[in-house]
Amino acid sequence: MDVSIIIINYRTPQLIINCLRSIYQFTSGVTFEVIVVDNDPENGQGQLVLREFPEVNWINMEYNAGFGRANNRGMAVARGKYFLLLNADTLVTDNVIGRCFHRMNQRTDIIACGALQYYPDHTPMPFYRSFNEFRKTFFILPPTPFFDNLLNSLYPEPQYQDADQHDWLVGAFIFLRKEGFEQTGGFSDDFFMYGEDVEWSGRLARLGKLCYFQDCKFIHLENNNPFRRTHISWINRFSTQMQVSNLLWVRKQYGFFAYIMLILHYIVMIPVVYSWKLLHNYNKNGKPFSELRTQYIYTRKIGVLLKYFWKTAVLKRGLYKIKPTENIDLLTS
């Protein structure tokens, strides 16, 4: 078996059907199996997928285990030389799977590779190409040359001789050698959603290069989920679940000091963002306490992050999944 394709289902049977149709239409030159891991078997409607693709190896989880744990379950039973972790809300438009397979056979220095994400209209989707590029977005600072230069000096971009090499791969499409899973144990069990691909990439990179190839692309539809961010602004750029996961990644990869500095930064910025907005409102209409919704949402999110402070600080094991009452994005949507 050349490739094991692993897809996670969470109430998205039609998306998986569309994804599999594109795979069978365009993939050639490789033997492959498809493994679907269902995080909600009671409502996943897996029979719809199996009716059209009875050869799929369907695995039911006992609970909603999130992205990482479900993928680990699929990789544990996969038989391929390579694994492809693929989102349900994706489509391939050419033989990208075969291309990744042959490229990885040629490039033994690579442990895993990714494909470039495109929107449904076939325009490229931006993504973070390095850990430091991602980390700089965590800071809520005025977009001025001074702060930009400060962050760039604190978090410089890595320099690789290989133009294809990057720090991490987006979890929607990860093509890796089986040994990558066997030697790392897969995703950390602590992540529920978001951040798990970043953290795992750091461990995978110890085994070999992580690369993106310009001729490898796929369509990412970005299916809605109840943890997606809302009211996006300069100070509310991450969803609550996403930021809980991001901070867990920072703690795991960069240590306690890097983590505590971010928490202190967010706390200090609460009076700053309120003071700035009060002054702005007063100059605008003479009513300083109008239009404070964004600041209110920001403060509520910081409150949730503080609930996970000690758990993250001591790296307590367990699934870092926020409670429904902590999902500020959904509650304020």
Measuring CA to CA, how many Å separate 325 from each of 115, 286, 331? 36, 35, 8
pLDDT tens, residue by residue, 178-218: 999 999 999 999 999 999 999 999 999 999 999 999 999 99
What domains are defined for the chain? 3-129+166-220 (3.90.550.10), 240-331 (no CATH)
Pairing of strands 173-177, 110-118: antiparallel
Name the amino acid, one letter, at 90: T
Q: Among candidates 56, 62, 85, which has minimal Cα distance to 72?
A: 85
Residue 231 pLDDT class (50, 70, 90 cuts)? confident
Q: Among candidates 254, 233, 247, which has minimal Cα distance to 307?
A: 247
Of how many residues is the chain composed? 333
pLDDT tens, residue by residue, 2-42: 999 999 999 999 999 999 999 999 999 999 999 999 999 99
How crowded is the C-beta side of 308, counted as CA atoms within 13 Å? 28
Mean pLDDT, residues 311-323 taken together: 97
Judge whether 112 and 204 are in contact, CB under 8 Å.
yes
Q: Which residue has the tokens 């680990």?
A: 72
- In this predicted structure, the answer to whether residue 81 has a pLDDT above a threshold of 80 is yes
Say what the pLDDT of residue 223 is.
66
- In this predicted structure, the answer to whether residue 228 has a pLDDT above a threshold of 90 is no
Judge whether 28 and 101 are in contact, CB under 8 Å.
no
pLDDT tens, residue by residue, 131-141: 999 999 999 99
Top pLDDT among 126 and 44 is at: 126
CA-derived radius of gyration, the chain: 21
Pairing of strands 82-86, 173-177: antiparallel
Query: pTM to 2 decimals?
Result: 0.94
